[in-house]
A and B are shown apart, each in its own frame.
Chain A
């Protein structure tokens, strides 16, 4: 995409009928680190890649609990993502308070798209939110996964990936998605972690590099702890050395990712994760 005369204002159309500012906002989503969602008939799994500014800092939180039955994973400007998560939590809890019943995900997603996102594409004094949201949730009509775009569009998916290098994950998911509806909870988690691995492109997959969350029928939204994630990884990752040298192998593996990570991230603005 090149600069042009029609891209200064979000309220300016181009002669070909495009709103460039909105499209630039969608570019911001592609700069963030990957987030993945997939669903079966009864469960939704959201996973994300943990990226930290430096070795000294903690990693950014990209997955948020909206309610017991709804979770959201974000990619792009995390600050924008946090604000939208707060909006979603507010809508959800207001509904629960008035009706003593969980807010259907489909309705939350429409409100998010209309009130929060689309409005910002139609006011000259606002800018679009630079964050894409994968909203996963459960309601009367089953498990759902939606993707909310900065443009205010939203789509429902069986599985989706957003953020940098998400194409690799999408390719993996495209091969497998037909079986997801009937997948067991464990298989779904495994597929999520495998999809995350695709986005890492060669880095060794470790539980510290990813966050995984699950929600389902009879299972409120919660994060999986590092141990459980590592157990799943161990079922398909071949350990490079013998178990006694496990410590050494980890140290080597740890050195490699930081180099690769540093090189790849030079173009990423500090506010995007």
Chain B
């Protein structure tokens, strides 16, 4: 028989060794998620990169997953924490299904559950280092919301995480409409993702777009965006670096 002696380092805040028991900084991170409501539901786009600091280490990470029948969860930030959250939600959905009683968890319920989890972890100074985007459709109503690692949570017609907030949302504020068709929605998201690809150093050119409607979830196969590098400013890039001042 083998024994594992549980290590109790005591107070997570005061003890030096206890620091290893709580999250101090993220290690493998995902970059932006951009999501919009459209005519039939919600569209969510993300690239498939996992950065290890400044290295683009992993290039096949799915950062958008289906939750139950009615929701889609996208995450940026620490990938291992995202996987932990997926485990929590797995249990939640399992218990919900076990009731087998005609009631099911909708996107609003999942969003609020996640908000509680994130906020409670933040209160213990041991956050799940993610910004989560929760989208879904239930009974004909579309839902799109966001939760940050400190528990800030809200709903909106379009949301983005990380760099997406700075680069994508201004585009969405100008061009989003409630009655976007699927094709127009995808075009709009691709426009945002292209800007992010040019300007976010942790973005890679391999993205997935997920769609959720009353019928269910579809996650696209990974694909790349066409980029254009023939802008004048990119020709002769060292032109402005002559001399020493």
A-side residues, CB < 8 A to B, are 97-101, 104, 106-107, 139-141
Contact = CB atoms under 8 A, between A and B. Distances in A.
Interface stretch (B102-110, B156-164, B185-193): B102-110
19 contacts: A97-B116, A98-B112, A98-B113, A98-B116, A99-B108, A99-B112, A99-B113, A100-B111, A100-B112, A101-B106, A101-B108, A101-B109, A101-B112, A104-B99, A106-B101, A106-B103, A107-B99, A107-B101, A139-B103
Chain A contact surface mostly: mixed
A99 to B, nearest CB: 4
Contacts of B103: 104, 106-107, 139-141
A216 B112 CA distance: 25
Given A100-B108, A101-B108, A140 B102 contact: yes
How many residues of B sit at the interface, in one of the four size bands? 10 to 19
A115 to B, nearest CB: 15
Contacts of A106: 99, 101, 103
B153 to A, nearest CB: 10
Which one of A99, A107, A139, A140 has the greatest number of beta carbons of chain B within 10 Å? A99
A133 B104 CA distance: 26
Which one of B102, B104, B106 has the greatest number of beta carbons of chain A within 10 Å? B102
B132 to A, nearest CB: 16
A99 B101 contact: no
B164 to A, nearest CB: 25
A186 B93 CA distance: 39
Contacts of B109: 99-101
Contacts of A141: 101-103
A104 B113 CA distance: 16
A98 B95 CA distance: 15
Top 9 nearest A-B pairs (CB, nearest first) are: A141-B102, A99-B109, A100-B112, A104-B103, A101-B109, A106-B101, A140-B103, A99-B112, A98-B116
Contacts of A97: 116
Nearest to B103: A104
B67 to A, nearest CB: 14
Nearest to B101: A106
A101 B105 CA distance: 9
Given A99-B112, A99-B113, A141-B103, 16 more contacts: A98-B113, A98-B116, A99-B105, A99-B108, A100-B108, A100-B109, A100-B111, A100-B112, A101-B108, A101-B109, A101-B112, A104-B99, A106-B101, A107-B103, A140-B102, A141-B102
Interface string B105-128: 110110111001000000000000
A106 B102 CA distance: 10
A106 B101 CA distance: 8
Nearest to A107: B99
Contacts of B102: 140-141
B111 to A, nearest CB: 8
Contacts of B101: 104, 106-107, 141
